A and B are shown apart, each in its own frame.
Chain A
Amino acid sequence: MLQSLPEAMGLIFTFEGMMVLTLGTMLGIILGALPGIGSTVAVAMILPFTLTMSQAPAILLLLAIYAGSVYGGSISAILINTPGTPQSAATCFDGYPMAQRGEAGKALGWATIASVIGGLTSAVVLIFAAPQLAAFALNFGPIETFTLILLGLTCIVSVSEGSLIKGLIAGFIGLFLSTVGGDPITGEARFTFGNFQLIAGFNLLAVVIGVFALSEVLTRAAASRDDAAPLVDFNGIVLPKLHEWKGRVKGLVKSVLIGNGIGILPGTGAATAAFISYAEARRSAPTRANFGKGEPDGLIASEAANNAVTGGALVPTMALGIPGDAITAVMLATLTLHGVTPGIRLMTENPVLMAAIFSGFFVINLMLLPLGMLVSRMAAPILRIKEAYMLVMITLLCTVGVYFVRGNPFDLLVMAIAGVIGFILRRQGYPMAPLVIGMVLGPTLEISLRQGLIITDGSFTAFFVGHPIAGVLAVAAVGMLLLPVFRALRPAKAA
């Protein structure tokens, strides 16, 4: 891939490439700062704008939105005590108290530097880890692929906040939805109930936008409004001076490592990384007594970790085609729309595009510093916009996105129904990320399982006897499934 770097740079450092990276990062920061939109909806909303673009700029725009929105969440967390994205929830603990005592600019300065360092290291991890992982997986057959997808699916356990059983139900609903339409081997129609529109199956993006964006509109409409804290005075970012970093570098390094490590694990996500990193900093920092009262170490821990997750989460997505969370699932779906099928063969078949994506991701994270300083001043007044206006914009933009994917009005109906059902299920504690992951991984899981059984003459035990990699992956999958049980037993034992 390194040999393709000069050609990849030629794609990035053009007028179009730099415009895409700059505007995408700026837009990502603004969308991330707006509470209720979040990275997943932000990527889905921008999708229609990429449909006329060529592959590399389109993918770079989506990556810029992703990285920018994760950082942007810290702006509203600090200025109005409402995280723009779930990843920035831990940033509120120390960011808002700092802002309340008149240090909003300083708080955003700490958050910006920590985010940039976290993001840059994650880009390095992506650049080096993804090709290695893809090379290892190059010789995978259907049996290994099946166990790999099975391992990927166990991330449903991790993304099931609240009730594990409800998370599993959502995941299996997603798997079932992926079976609707033509059978991948015989071509016969399944579960179409006479509706010819269903022969092609459900449009993934229509379902994703419905369950995330439209259900969010309904959730916001149902909740009591105007509960955000008032906007504090903010006159621009103030970067911390070099001597102020004394005693904080160790914590920063630890948070970056936590973020990168958790990012590569499927399903754990940036919000979990930020909370784990915050808890670790609170346990080990010499300033732990000040945590929750406006301590920069707390801000650094949260922001360095959540941005460090971004590149890590893209490693299994780009190398194996296995998304770890809802955002990477949407990214995967949008990449497929652009004719890019992330996975084992992409690295060898299109090294220039991969080099452009990886180096572009590094540049995006580098640009977070100047653009963060510039855009945060613009984003602050935007936070005063009425929530109702934002909900109208989300609805209109999401409709455009779904319409342009296939130009089929039936997809719009699917989106609206998914929005209403998503609202009902979310209200009762069913997480939506497992549903999306199930829908994305379902087709590959089915094909690899059936091909594997055809190869082994229907013997499921033969899957693991002559296939050591499959055996290891299956054990890892079982381990991931049992992890919550061990977690639940540990406090009981301690008590």
Chain B
Amino acid sequence: MSGVISERRVVSTILLVLTAGLVLSTFGLQFADLGGAFSPMFFPRIILFILLGLAVANVVIDGLAATDGQPIELLPVVIIGAAFMGYVLLLIPLGYFISSTLVGVVILVALGLRNPVQVLGVPLAASGGLVALFNHVLKMPLPTSPFFWWI
């Protein structure tokens, strides 16, 4: 990104908009009207108003500052970020062993590894080792795999 729109300015603007939205939401929520320090919104409102002031100052500062920092390798970040989300959503239905092996494979491939022995072997060994350690040594069962419930 370049020119007026930069990554930094987008992030500071999103922070400002989110904070303003949260400040407004505190006026829409319904609570028992106890007033003053008894009100559940008393403390959050103080925090959010200060945060709003800081967010405004931040937008101004970032608006004046020279734009952007170091370019990054976006593809591995997007793949690994998506893999995190998929991992935590699949952990319970697929169990720890399968989902951990899958996320391990995705991370290694995203980071450029292509040797199939390494790409499969390391995640298998890591997740298998952790399952063995927690399920059998420490007796703290991890979520069970439907296909590998016996390990």
Contact = CB atoms under 8 A, between A and B. Distances in A.
B58 A453 contact: no
Contacts of B57: 165
A400 interface: yes
B130 A188 contact: no
B148 interface: no
Contact of B48 (A48, A176, A386, A428): A176
Interface string B28-59: 01011010111011111001101100110110
A453 B81 contact: no
Interface in A391-419: 391-393, 395-397, 399-400, 403-404, 409, 412-413, 415-417, 419
B17 interface: no
Instruction: Please tell me the size bucket of the interface on A.
Output: 35 or more
A454 interface: yes
A48 B142 CA distance: 11
Secondary structure call for the A interface:
helix
Contact of A169 (B31, B55, B69, B77): B55
Given A183-B40, A186-B40, A446-B43, A403 B73 contact: no
Contact of A395 (B7, B50, B103, B143): B103
A450 B140 contact: no
B38 A419 contact: no
B47 A179 contact: yes
Interface residues of B, number: 64
Contacts of A409: 88, 91-92
A14 interface: no
Contacts of B103: 392, 395-396
Contacts of A417: 85
A179 B113 CA distance: 43
A221 B55 contact: no
Given A169-B58, A175-B47, A388-B113, A395 B36 contact: no
Interface stretch (A78-86, A222-230, A265-273, A354-362): A222-230
B86 to A, nearest CB: 9
Contact of B47 (A172, A404, A427): A172
B20 interface: no
A392 B107 contact: yes
B110 A399 contact: no
B117 to A, nearest CB: 13
Contact of A48 (B34, B80, B81, B134): B134
Given A165-B54, A412-B91, A218 B77 contact: yes
Contact of A449 (B43, B72, B87, B104): B43
Nearest to A185: B38
B64 interface: no
Interface centre among A224, A399, A429 (most CB of B within 10 A): A399
A217 interface: yes
B94 interface: no
A296 B94 CA distance: 54
Interface in A184-223: 185-186, 188, 190-191, 214, 217-218, 221-223
A282 interface: no
Contacts of B132: none
A393 B130 CA distance: 10
A169 B134 CA distance: 39
A190 B41 contact: yes
A399 B122 contact: no
B51 A173 contact: yes
A186 B38 contact: yes
B5 interface: no
A392 B126 contact: yes
A425 B87 CA distance: 22
Contacts of B61: 163, 165
A176 B47 contact: yes
Nearest to A404: B140
A166 B88 contact: no
A399 B103 CA distance: 11
Interface string B105-133: 00110111100000000110011001000
Interface of A: 48-49, 51-52, 163, 165-166, 168-169, 172-173, 175-176, 179, 183, 185-186, 188, 190-191, 214, 217-218, 221-225, 386-389, 391-393, 395-397, 399-400, 403-404, 409, 412-413, 415-417, 419-420, 423-425, 427-429, 445-446, 449-450, 453-454, 458
The 8 A-B residue pairs whose C-beta atoms are closest, nearest first, are A183-B40, A453-B37, A412-B88, A222-B72, A388-B111, A172-B51, A416-B84, A450-B37
19 contacts: A163-B61, A169-B15, A169-B54, A185-B40, A186-B40, A190-B40, A214-B84, A218-B77, A221-B73, A389-B108, A389-B122, A392-B103, A392-B107, A396-B127, A400-B134, A403-B96, A416-B87, A419-B84, A446-B43
